[in-house]
Amino acid sequence: MAKKEPATSCELCVNYVWDDFDECYSCLVNLDEDEYIAFVSNPNYRCPYFHLDDEYSIVRKQN
């Protein structure tokens, strides 16, 4: 049985940024129609554009 990967969280993604104009968080990636439908309808959708916003990754590389 294949291991099920966890769904990604937008709040942890580097593409999820504050928009000063709209005064809210938004995703920088423009999903196409099929990707957006999958994102909205499936709670376990794994975004192919997800990149963990890990601010300590550079520090780990230095050590």
At 60 the pLDDT is: 63
Burial readout 29-60 (b: 16 or more C-beta within 10 A, e: otherwise): eeeeeeeeeebeeeeeeebeebeeeeeeeeee
What is the model's pLDDT at position 53? 78
Q: What is the mean pLDDT of the chain?
A: 81
The DSSP output letter for 62 is H
Region 20-34: mean pLDDT is 92
* Residue showing tokens 């709040």: 11
Q: What is the pLDDT of residue 41?
A: 93
The Cα 11–Cα 17 span in angstroms is 9
Can you give the pTM of this predicted structure?
A: 0.64
Q: Which of the four pLDDT bands, split at 50, 70 and 90, describes residue 44?
A: confident
